[in-house]
Amino acid sequence: MTPHIPNGAEHEVVVTGIGLVAGQLTDPEALFDHLAEGRTLITEHPLHKEWGVPCAVSAHIDPQVWQALADAAPEEAGPLGPAGVLAWHAAAQAWERSGLPRRLDTERGGVFLACNRMVMEPAELTWLAAHVDHEAGALDLDGYLEHLDGPAASDADGGLDPQRYEKIQPDSATAALADYFGAAGVLETHADACAAGGMAIGSAYRYIRSGTLDVALAGGAESLTTLTAVTAFYGVGALAPAEGRDPARISRPFDKDRSGFVIGDGAAFLVLESRAHAEARGARILAEVAGYAGVTEAVKMTSSSRDGSDYAECIRAALADAGLAPEDIDHVNAHGTSTEANDTCEAAALHTVFGARAATLPITGNKSAMGHSLANSGAAEAVLSVLSLERQTLLPTLNFAEPDEVTGGLDIVTERRPARVTAVLSNSFGFGGQNCSLILAEAG
């Protein structure tokens, strides 16, 4: 029997499953409770301290947690790198919670993974340098690859993993997930900097809303608390220096004393479905993806227009896509990186879009407690926004004490707050002018 479908319902996009891993926590509810209690995931990173990195704190995945997740991955997953292991756990968790069958085996399912491409670490660069002819300005790539495949590559004394290249390619995890769940109708791997997680969810949403797909697994994974990545971000002035401070107090979104972001790792996934598909199988609907906008601009590699106009354009486009007005938004899950430039741009945009109402519109900056996991951050914040809708509870922004002249006049939530929440605006604004806004709403 074909279920009755209300007019237009086949094009509504709903969330039926969520999964997440962060710090020592391996499920979304545990993270939500942890953050609601005002606790942090940001701690000293022992290797960073050993390396002498000036910002030796991060929201990294506990090594024992990572190993347990790696051990739990099925053989069918194939070779997975650090980010792939995290992606696998969060995706499988979201899929299981959705109640979907183990395999879809239909071209009307897809996988949308956000993960920035990994950079080479010192050992790899050393091996690569050995095959460079500096006088000729040439690289003996064949020799390098043969070296990787040779006996030395598997030596226990520091040799490189011959499967390293495959493991660190984000596309490998995308393909493995699609094959495992039988959802290979559309495969996308997003590397849109810090907006990638939101972009992946937004792309999946558009495929479902257009009627091309029924189901999508969408989210992000990142594992960049590495020497090369940390050094690079510190070099461009984006990371907050630790300077002997309490790790829990370093990330300070919208606060006048903010000094940069704290890098983190993690993974988060949502299962998206058309409402018709979800209702036909009797699925529990957690929330609705009501609107999305992805806007690119090229003001500066590390900053957008300080008047907030680029971010405001993105927010307004998401509202228009959802058919909502600014007054319909009850909560903002801010990008809130704790960098001077980003918080200034976002605060200005919120003042521009919401006007006087910005003073009473609750705003949360999750990165104050869980760091900035780059491509994964938008996905993780979307998961937390779903839980805020379910629990009618707003999470606190840690370490916000005093605003500056631009961040002033905003209602920054500093303690867990019960609230009536029907629609959440979740922002992700990345390096290189990659801007994204998602609107998540009550299931209805």
Which active-site residues does the annotation give? 194, 335, 372
Q: Quick one: tokens of 11?
A: 């094009």
Cβ-based neighbour number of residue 403 at 10 Å = 16
- Give the integer Cα–Cα distance in Å for 92 and 80: 14
Buried b (16+ CB within 10 A) or exposed e, 125-155: eebbeebeeeeeeeeeeeebeebbeeeebee
In whole angstroms, how far apart are CA 431 and each of 11, 30, 265?
32, 30, 18
SS3 state at 427: strand
Greatest Cα-to-Cα distance within the chain, rounded to the nearest angstrom: 74
SS3 state at 299: coil
Q: Quick one: tokens of 190?
A: 């997003």
Half-sphere exposure of 334 (CA within 13 A, CB side): 33
- Give the integer Cα–Cα distance in Å for 319 and 9: 19
Those residues with Cβ within 8 angstroms of residue 374's Cβ, 6 or more apart along the chain or in another chain: 116, 193, 194, 196, 222, 224, 263
User: Do the Cβ atoms of 284 and 80 come closer than 8 Å?
Assistant: no
User: Do the Cβ atoms of 425 and 357 come closer than 8 Å?
Assistant: no
- DSSP letters, 25-84, are B-SHHHHHHHHHTT----EE-HHHHHHT-SS-EEBPPPHHHHHHHHHHS-GGG-S--HHH
Is residue 73 packed enough to be buried (19+ CB in 10 Å), middle (13-18) or exposed (0-12)?
middle
Cβ-based neighbour number of residue 246 at 10 Å = 11
